Amino acid sequence: MPVDAALVGKTFPPTRPYAVSEEKVREFATAAGTTYDGGPAPATFPIVLAFDAMNAFLAAEEIDLFRIVHGEQKFAYERPVVPGDVLTATLTVASLRQIGGNDIIGTASEVRDADGALVCSTTATLVHRAAA
């Protein structure tokens, strides 16, 4: 089932505020094989927020996560994420096209702190694979 083209330009509600803890950052760093002794989180940590926003988008549109493959990801950082941050992500559907029966969904998410200041802008291309 193709994704609804009317979604382009739609912004979804911000995710529930996420309190970044040192333990969670350590868990994330350890998963990529590195150690963590405080300070900035690894560069890809904001995906935790962006993924949360994507899940909410997929659930709202009844898109199965297992049909999604990641096509592209970009981050532009205003500052590193650090423990103590309380972050939200707001996702906008930026583009949508169909190639070979797959939907290519472009999304843009803004990760902001408790003061509303931008921490990171991230864009993702999601490939929604057609049912066989």
Partner 1 sequence: MSALSAGDALAPQEYAVTRADLVRYAGASGDFNPIHWSDRVATSVALPGVIAHGMFTMALAARAVASWTDGAEVLELGCKFTNPVVVPDDDIGVVVRVAGTVKSVEDGRAAIALEVTCDGAKVLGMPKAVVRA
Q: Does 118 bind partner 1 (CB under 8 A)?
A: no
Verify binding: residue 98, partner 1, rule CB under 8 A: no
Cα atoms in the Cβ-side hemisphere of radius 13 Å centred on 83: 13
Is residue 83 within the footprint of partner 1 (CB under 8 A)? no
Q: Which CB atom, from 10 or from 24, has the smaller least distance to partner 1?
A: 24
Which is nearer to partner 1, 6 or 105 (by Cβ)?
105
Name which of 4 and 23 has its Cβ closer to partner 1: 23
Query: Please, are residues 73 and 119 in contact by the beta-carbon 8 Å criterion?
Result: no
**CB neighbours (10 Å) of residue 18?**
16
Q: How far is it, in rounded angstroms, from Cα 11 to Cα 9?
A: 6
CB of 57 to partner 1, least distance (A): 14
Pick from 5, 32, 59, 114 the residue near partner 1 by CB under 8 A.
32
Residue 7 to residues 13, 25, 92, 105, 115, Cα–Cα distance (Å): 14, 33, 9, 10, 29
Examine residue 91 and tell whether it contacts partner 1 (CB under 8 A). Answer: no
Site for partner 1, residues 50 to 79, rule: CB under 8 A: 51-52, 55, 65-77
Sign for the pseudo-dihedral over CA of 25, 84, 52, 54: negative
Compute how many residues bind partner 1; rule: CB under 8 A: 35
